[in-house]
Amino acid sequence: MRLNEMDFGNARPVEGYGADFFRLDGVAHPAPVAFAPGHVIAWGGFDDTAALLPLAGEIDVLFVGTGGDIAHLPSDFRKTLEEAGLAVEPMASPAACRTYNVLLSEGRRVAVALLPVG
């Protein structure tokens, strides 16, 4: 089997994470945090849709990492983002990082909002 390195162009993948941080470009950002190409966003969690709304029109999907395990998104949170035109996909934060990185390497217009894993 041949493995190919992913080419992210100018975008930056999530490089790693710990219980309360996510690393991008060698810098550990405290969680919760959101990443999009060209953006590191201080995100306040499910009560903070205002930090994510400016991504509408810039991305096709927002992956929401719900922590160590997958969980339902609060309905008001989902509704506000979807009404602004953001497609929202919840998954556990580790899976959200992996999915974000793969789609980012394909040149897709994606973002990820991440709650701490533990």
Reduce the DSSP state of residue 54 to 3 states and report it: helix
pLDDT at 8 over 70: no
Q: What is the pLDDT of residue 11?
A: 80
pLDDT digits (tens, 9 = 90+) for 60-112: 999 999 999 999 999 999 999 999 999 999 999 999 999 999 999 999 999 99
**CA angle at residue 57 from 5 to 15, to 5 degrees?**
30
Q: Is the pTM of this model over 0.85?
A: yes
Q: What is the pLDDT of residue 3?
A: 45
Q: What percent of the chain has pLDDT over 70?
A: 92
Is 67 buried (19+), middle (13-18) or exposed (0-12) by CB count in 10 A? middle
Predicted confidence band of residue 113 (pLDDT cuts 50, 70, 90) = very high
Q: What is the pLDDT of residue 6?
A: 58
Q: Which residues of 34-50 are buried (b: 16+ CB within 10 A; e: fewer)?
A: bbbbeeebebeebebbe
CATH of domain 33-114: 3.40.1230.10
pLDDT digits (tens, 9 = 90+) for 19-40: 999 999 999 999 999 999 999 9
pLDDT at 10 over 80: no
